[in-house]
C-alpha cells in the first residue's frame, strides 16, 4: 500500500488503537506524525491500481435479492474491503495502515463506515478481540450489550448514557484479555441512532447524518473491566435472566468479522469466550416489540449495581 504524506495528522483513540488520520474525523485532535495506525486517502487511480492486484475472496455475503453489497478480498499485502455505497478500503494485513478512496462517499457516510467497520477490522488484525456490542461504564466496570443489528444495543446504551453513565462504545466493542479478566477499550466519540429513538440533544451534539443521526458523545477515557455481558433477543415478554453457566455459542457468535478465521484469531476467540464464561456475568434480555426501554433499564439496574 502506498502512503500519502501529511505534515499534520489528526489523532483519535478508539478500539485500543491510536489512529492518525490525514483528515479530521469526529473527536480527532491535531497531532504531529507519530507511530499510530495510519489512515490515509488515495486518489481513485491509485486505489484502482491497488485493486487490480491478484487477490482471493475472503468473504462475500449472499443477499436474498442477489445484489452485491459487501466483499472482503485479500492480496499479498492487504485486505480489500468493498462496500456498495461507501466505496473501497485497503487495510494492511497487520492492521496498521488503512486507506480510503478520495471522493468515493460523502464525509458522513465515510466516517460511519470507517468507525463501524473498517477501523474495527484493523483492530481485529492488530490482535484485539472485537465484538458486535455496545457498552456503557457503570460503577467502575463495563456493561456490554451484544446482539444482531436492530436488537437494541445502541438504544439501551444511549439511554443508559442519558441516565448519567459514560458511554464506552457504540455497536462495536474492542476487548483485550488481561490476566484473569477482560478490559473494554473505548470506541470513537460517536453514536449513530435513529432520529426518533430518543432525545438526541440531551445525549450529545448532532454532527452528521446518514440514514441515522450521528451524535458526538464523549466516551469513557480509560479502558473499563468488562463485568457484565447482556445478550439481546426478541421475545414475547420483557425478561432478564442470568446465564449461570454462560452461553458459549452466543459468545462465539458475537465476534466481529468471523470470516477472519486465522488460527490465531480462532484460538483468541475461544480463549476470550472462556474468560467471558469465567470472569464476566452473562445475562439474557428478551425484548418484546415495541420495546419499553425504561422498563428494560430498570431490570438491568437491579442486576447491575
Partner 1 sequence: MSDTATKNPLLLATIRVTKDIVYRDFPSETVVLNLQTGQYHGLNPTAGEMLAALDETGSVEAAAKQMAERHEVDVAAVLADMCALCEKLSERGLIEIEPAASQ
263 binds partner 1, rule: CB under 8 A? yes
Query: H or E stretch including 133?
Result: strand 129-138
CA 188 to CA 16: how far, in whole Å? 10
Q: Is 48 in the site for partner 1 (CB under 8 A)?
A: no
Q: Binding-site residue total for partner 1 (CB under 8 A)?
A: 14
Per-residue interface string for the shown chain with partner 1, residues 276-305, x marking contact by CB under 8 A? -x----------------------------
**Smallest separation, CB 264 to partner 1 (Å):** 9
Q: Identify which of residues 44 and 181 has a Cβ nearer to partner 1 in the complex.
A: 181
Q: In this chain, which of 273, 283, 287, 296 binds partner 1, going by CB under 8 A?
A: 273
Helices (H), the chain: 44-51, 107-113, 119-125, 153-162, 200-203, 248-253, 263-279, 293-303
Q: Find out whether 117 and 105 touch, Cβ atoms under 8 Å.
A: no
Could you tell me the smallest distance in angstroms from the CB atom of residue 183 to partner 1? 20
Residue 242 contacts partner 1 per CB under 8 A:
no
Q: Is 261 in the site for partner 1 (CB under 8 A)?
A: yes
Minimum distance, C-beta of residue 117 to partner 1, in the bound complex (Å): 21
Set of cell numbers at residue 235: 421475545
- Cis geometry, peptide bond prior to residue 237 (ω within 30 degrees of 0): no
Q: How far is the CB of 81 from partner 1 (least distance, A)?
A: 20
CB nearer to partner 1: give 252 or 297. 252
Q: How far is the CB of 242 from partner 1 (least distance, A)?
A: 13
DSSP states along 211-261: SSEEEE-PBPSS-EEEEEEEEEEE-SS-EEEE-TT--HHHHHHTBS-TT--
Q: Which stretch binds partner 1 (CB under 8 A): 122-130, 153-161, 262-270, 284-292?
A: 262-270
H or E, element range at 203: helix 200-203
DSSP string, 12-26: EEETTEEEEESS--T
Q: Any idea how long the chain is?
A: 305
**How far is it, in rounded angstroms, from Cα 107 to Cα 113?**
10
Among 127, 181, 225, 246, binds partner 1 (CB under 8 A): 246
Please choose, out of 58-66, 94-102, 156-164, 240-248, the segment that lies near partner 1 by the rule CB under 8 A.
240-248
C-alpha cell at 269: 476467540
**Of 77 and 267, which CB lies nearer to partner 1 in the complex structure?**
267
How far from 29 is each of 18, 26, 96, 156, CA to CA, in Å?
Answer: 12, 9, 19, 29
Selected from 18, 178, 267, 295, the binder of partner 1 by CB under 8 A is 267
Query: Residue 194, interface with partner 1 (CB under 8 A)?
Result: no
Site residues (vs partner 1, CB under 8 A): 245-246, 248, 252, 258, 261, 263, 266-267, 270-271, 273-274, 277
Amino acid at each position: 500500500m502506498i502512503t500519502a504524506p501529511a505534515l499534520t495528522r489528526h489523532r483519535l483513540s478508539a478500539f485500543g488503537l491510536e489512529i492518525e488520520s490525514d483528515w479530521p474525523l469526529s473527536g480527532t485532535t491535531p497531532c504531529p506524525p507519530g507511530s499510530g495506525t495510519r489512515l490515509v486517502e488515495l486518489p481513485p487511480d491509485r486505489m484502482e491500481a491497488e485493486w487490480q492486484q491478484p487477490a482471493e475472496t475472503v468473504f462475500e455475503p449472499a443477499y436474498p435479492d442477489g445484489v452485491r453489497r459487501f466483499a472482503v478480498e485479500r492480496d499479498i499485502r492487504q485486505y480489500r474491503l468493498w462496500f456498495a455505497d461507501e466505496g473501497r478500503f485497503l487495510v494492511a494485513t497487520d492492521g496498521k495502515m488503512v486507506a480510503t478512496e478520495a471522493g468515493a462517499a460523502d464525509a458522513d457516510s465515510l466516517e460511519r463506515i470507517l468507525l463501524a467497520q473498517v477501523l474495527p477490522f484493523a483492530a481485529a488484525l492488530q490482535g484485539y478481540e472485537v465484538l458486535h456490542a455496545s457498552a456503557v461504564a457503570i460503577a467502575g466496570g463495563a456493561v456490554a450489550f451484544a446482539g444482531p443489528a436492530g436488537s437494541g444495543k445502541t438504544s439501551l446504551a444511549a439511554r443508559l448514557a442519558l441516565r448519567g453513565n459514560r458511554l464506552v462504545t457504540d455497536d462495536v466493542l474492542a476487548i483485550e484479555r488481561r490476566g484473569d479478566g477482560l478490559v473494554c477499550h473505548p470506541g470513537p466519540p460517536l453514536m449513530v441512532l435513529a432520529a426518533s429513538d430518543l432525545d438526541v440533544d440531551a445525549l450529545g451534539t448532532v454532527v452528521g447524518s446518514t440514514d441515522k443521526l450521528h451524535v458526538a458523545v464523549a466516551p469513557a477515557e480509560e479502558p473499563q473491566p468488562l463485568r457484565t455481558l447482556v445478550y439481546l433477543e426478541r421475545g414475547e415478554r420483557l425478561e432478564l435472566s442470568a446465564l449461570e453457566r454462560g452461553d458459549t455459542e452466543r459468545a462465539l457468535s458475537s465476534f466481529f468479522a468471523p470470516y477472519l478465521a486465522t488460527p490465531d484469531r480462532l484460538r483468541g476467540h475461544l480463549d476470550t469466550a472462556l474468560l467471558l464464561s469465567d470472569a464476566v456475568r452473562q445475562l439474557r434480555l428478551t425484548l418484546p416489540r415495541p420495546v419499553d426501554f425504561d422498563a428494560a433499564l430498570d431490570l438491568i439496574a437491579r442486576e447491575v449495581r
